Chains A and B, each alone.
Chain A
Amino acid sequence: MIYQDSKILLEVRGLCASVNGIDILKDLDFTVRSGEIHAIMGQNGSGKSTFAKVLAGHPAYEVTKGTVLFEGQNLFALKPEERARAGLFLAFQYPIEVPGVGNSQFLRLTYNTVQKQRGKEELDPLEFDDFVREKMKLLEMSPDFLDRSVNAGFSGGEKKRNEILQMALLAPLVAVLDETDSGLDIDALRIVAQGVNQLSTKNNAIVMVTHYQRLLNYIVPDYVHVMEAGRIIKTGAKELALELESRGYDWVSAEYKGAAKAAGRVSA
């Protein structure tokens, strides 16, 4: 929701990034304020997921230009784990399996690490167990998730729920959900979306990266952005997603190129 007294959480200016020497993000601008829900849409290869990973600090991506301020501080001065502790969360498109490491142990470690950073109370295994079970109800997860290894042998839907469970535990300021809807059936989608909605508050913000308007029926965005060739070429309200669904992306692209020409800029 858009609030009058919101503050800027994330401010991206002129961001350029590459992977293996190939430029992916090209002069990207993006601003997120507290309370807002953003959707970033676009065709395959437009740079959506790269943007999510660059924010989180994936080592394979190199930032070549631009700035990102997270609550006013230089995000790129922080290591990935410091970004996470500061309140930046990425729900992975493909959550990583860690065989042998118990899910409950992993969840508690991440929770306590972040709590400690925030000067808050850490929980012992018994306290944490009560706490996490409460959070799991939100996502209709069975308690036996806790006894399994982190994501190992989880179905696609189970992995995505486990991601949102972590979001619930870590209570981030900005949560970036990278194609959290992909691979989910309708029921799972509804449950995951419900969970995300309950976690959305006046003080935090959610950025969803998605291909499909379907997700946006459940999590209603304040802004919809269209990405192409590594930058945001159009921003609109939630209705834009419906329009994209019926008309595709070509018209947005054409419109952007026309405007760029009119402004005397050369399209990349």
Chain B
Amino acid sequence: MSAVLQNLVNQPYKHGFVTKIESDVAPKGLNEGIIRLISSKKNEPEWLLEFRLKSYQSWLKMTEPEWQNCHHPKIDFQAISYFAAPKVKAKLKSLDEVDPELLRTFEKLGVPLHERMAMAGVAVDVIFDSVSVATTYKDKLAEVGVIFCSMSEAVLEHPELVQKYLGSVVPPGDNFYAALNSAVFTDGSFCFIPKGVKCPMDLSTYFRINTEESGQFERTLIIAEEGASVSYLEGCTAPAFSTNQLHAAVVELVALDNADIKYSTVQNWYAGDENGVGGIYNFVTKRGLAEGVNSRISWTQVETGAAITWKYPSVVLLGDNSVGEFYSVAVTNNYQQADTGTKMVHIGKNTRSTIVSKGISAGKSNNSYRGLVKIAASAAGARNYSQCDSMLIGDECGANTFPYIQVLNNSAQVEHEASTSKIGEDQMFYFAQRGVDAEAAVSMIINGFCKDVFQQLPLEFAVEATNLLSYKLEGSIG
């Protein structure tokens, strides 16, 4: 790799600061006592404690998945603290009572919490370590019947909804990390869009890990009733620590008849340094159930951070004519590893799914797409189109594609396309000869490569993603 490309990809991480704030951290380790502690700290109802304990029991019987194309030392689950929260004196009545240090933190991250300064038309729920610290525009949303609040609050104020849907898409025993999450999840966002309501603004959650020895285990649940629609955005950052932090989230989406959920993520967890020291282990289970007829669930993700990313946002296409979409850009640099993709499970008739995955690898990183397209015997007339493109920057990185296709119905159509390309010295020289510097050249090449995915993102997010990518890859080309 030329020096120019090198420098381009190796920009420092700008969200790596730590907020000095007094925290309430649970002792390290995982046992029933800790789970009871978390549950009682949150004043949870009995049924939820049981849900947690049952999940813990199944987790104990499970082993960590090892089939993914990622390598890391064994995680010591007893060395993690499962609860960390900024200390608060009493329940907050308004944003004015939020610790100013926290407000400054989120302003620094570009997520101002005061509604008057907040991004126009986007309601934000902010999760700091284990707890939600603020949710904006809650009242305005309530006027149209949209419930948008932290999961802890939903458990207390809308227990019937939470109990009905929690674990209905990702059951506690689904996989090792989902079971762990189900046992110890601390907070997350809850969105409920009632029948016939088009959510008047984008909903968004911003996740921030701040404590070195805690993990973040958030749980997000989005329900769109008949004919409802919502666009939800998720962003994440963490300080730069030399140790690894575990982020094991579960996100469940439920779309009833004619409902539409669009879920967009720009993930920028700390990725570790240029030698691969530190960084977040991002082990996430995301799944949507397109339960109703003509329902639609669309995942768009831009994954740039984390030392290891292991996630497969999926859609179970249960309702007839339902639609599942997955648009992904995953960028890895230095020693980052990503094994990401999707699962599209077609059960209903005439269900359709689209998968567009763009992997960009630089440095010594390893980037894998892994996807499953399953057409059940019942899914007459189902269709899938998959496109998986990889781009290599330099010659020490790797890109892999692992598509799994299972078709049990003769009337189904499944297409898969894949390509690999490389940004090389010659392309860079060509741009230079036309007066364009390396930074602008890389940005144009990468954006061209990711165009199909970026155009799925809401405008502000698209701009952020574009900047993030140029920034991330600055110095890597050569």
Chain A residues at the B interface, C-beta cutoff of 8 Å? 56-60, 79-81, 84-85, 89-90, 92, 95-96, 98-102, 105-106, 109-110, 113-114, 117, 149, 166, 170
Cα(A58)–Cα(B434), bound, Å: 13
Known A-B contacts A60-B425, A96-B427, A99-B421; A81 and B448 likewise in contact (beta carbons under 8 Å): no
Question: Does the CB pair B435–A110 fall under 8 Å?
Answer: yes
B2 — which chain A residues lie within 8 A by C-beta? 59
Could you tell me if B445 and A57 are in contact, using CB atoms closer than 8 angstroms? no
Q: Which residue of B427, B435, B447 contacts A81 across the interface (Cβ within 8 Å)?
A: B435
B435 touches A98 (CB 8 A): no
Would A59 and B435 be within 8 Å (CB), given that A99-B448, A100-B451, A109-B440 are in contact? no
- Report the Cα distance A56→B430, complex, angstroms: 10
Interchain CA distance A92-B427 in the complex, whole Å: 12
CA distance in complex: A84, B438 (Å): 13
Q: Is the CB of A84 within 8 A of B430?
A: no
Please give, as numbers and ranges, the residues of chain B lying within 8 Å of A59 by CB-CB distance.
Answer: 2, 425, 429
Query: Cβ of A113: which chain B residues have Cβ within 8 Å of it?
Result: 434-436, 440
Q: Which residues of B contact A (CB under 8 A)?
A: 2, 421, 425-427, 429-437, 440, 444-445, 447-449, 451
- State A195–B55 Cα separation when bound (angstroms): 73
User: Is B434 in contact with A84, judged by CB distance below 8 angstroms?
Assistant: yes
Contact A57 B426 (CB under 8 A): no
16 CB-based A-B contacts, threshold 8 Å: A80-B429, A81-B431, A81-B437, A84-B432, A84-B433, A92-B430, A98-B427, A101-B448, A102-B448, A106-B434, A109-B440, A110-B435, A110-B436, A113-B436, A149-B448, A170-B435
Q: Which residue of B lies closest to A86 (CB)?
A: B435
Query: Which of A85, A96, A102 contacts B426 (CB under 8 A)?
Result: A96
* Option from B421, B430, B444 in Cβ contact (under 8 Å) with A109: B444
Closest-by-CB residue of B relative to A80 is: B432
> B425, B432, B437, B445: which contacts A98 (Cβ < 8 A)?
B445
Contact in complex: B434, A110 (CB < 8 Å): yes
> Hey, which chain A residues are within 8 Å of B448, CB to CB?
98-102, 105, 149
Query: Which among A80, A89, A100, A170 is the interface contact of B445 at CB below 8 angstroms?
Result: A100
Partner of B435, one of A60, A99, A114: A114
A58 CB contacts on chain B under 8 angstroms: 429
Question: Cβ of A109 and Cβ of B427 under 8 Å apart?
Answer: no
Contacts of A98 in B (CB 8 A): 427, 430, 445, 448
State in angstroms the CA–CA spacing of A106 and B432 once bound together.
12
**Shortest beta-carbon distance from B419 to chain A in Å:** 8
- Residue in chain B with minimal CB distance to A99: B421
Residues of chain B within 8 A (CB-CB) of A79 are 432
Q: Which residues of A contact B440 (CB under 8 A)?
A: 109, 113
Taken together as a complex, chains A and B put the C-alpha atoms of A90 and B434 apart, in Å, by 8
Give the Cβ gap from A125 to chain B, nearest Cβ, in Å: 14
In the complex, what residues of A have CB within 8 A of residue B434's CB? 84, 106, 110, 113-114, 166, 170
Interface hub of A60, A89, A102, A110 (most chain B Cβ within 10 A): A110
Interface pair A95/B430, CB less than 8 Å apart: yes
The CA-CA distance from A60 to B430 in the complex, in Å, is 13
From A89, A96, A100, A106, give the contact of B449 (CB < 8 A). Answer: A100
Question: For residue B419, which residue of chain A has the nearest CB?
Answer: A99
- Distance A113 CA – B433 CA, assembled complex (angstroms): 12
* Closest residue of B by beta carbon distance from A96: B430
Q: How far is the CB of A151 from chain B (nearest CB, A)?
A: 9
Chain B residue nearest in CB terms to A151: B430
Interface centre among B434, B435, B436 (most CB of A within 10 A): B435
Known: A80-B432, A92-B430, A95-B430. A101 touches B444 (CB 8 A): yes
Given contacts A98-B448, A149-B448, whether A117 and B433 have CB atoms under 8 Å apart is no
In the assembly, what is the distance between CA of A106 and CA of B443, in Å?
12
Chain B residues positioned under 8 Å from A149 (CB to CB): 448
Interface centre among B426, B430, B445, B447 (most CB of A within 10 A): B430
C-alpha gap A60/B478 in the complex (Å): 11
* 6 closest Cβ pairs, A-B complex: A100-B448, A101-B448, A110-B434, A80-B432, A96-B430, A84-B435
Of all chain B residues, which has the CB nearest A58? B429
* Smallest CB separation, B392 vs chain A (Å): 13
**Which interface residue of A80, A84, A85, A90 has the most chain B CB atoms within 10 A?**
A80
For residue B440, which residue of chain A has the nearest CB? A109
Question: Which residue, of B2, B427, B434, B448, has the highest number of chain A Cβ atoms within 10 A?
Answer: B434
- Within the assembled complex, what's the spacing in Å between the Cα atoms of A57 and B448? 26
Complex Cα distance A85/B431, Å? 12
Q: How far is the CB of A91 from chain B (nearest CB, A)?
A: 9
Chain B positions within 8 Å of A85 at CB level: 435
Complexed CA–CA distance, A59 and B433 (Å): 11
- Please measure, in the bound complex, the distance between the C-alpha atom of A89 and the C-alpha atom of B435, giving whole angstroms: 9
CA distance A90 to B430 in the complex (A): 9
A200 CB, nearest partner CB in chain B, Å: 20
Chain A, Cβ-Cβ closest to B2? A59
CA distance A80 to B445 in the complex (A): 18
Smallest beta-carbon distance A101→chain B, Å: 4
Chain A, residue nearest B423 (CB)? A98
In the complex, A98→B426 CA distance in Å?
Answer: 10
With A81-B432, A84-B432 given, is the CB distance from A106 to B444 under 8 Å?
yes
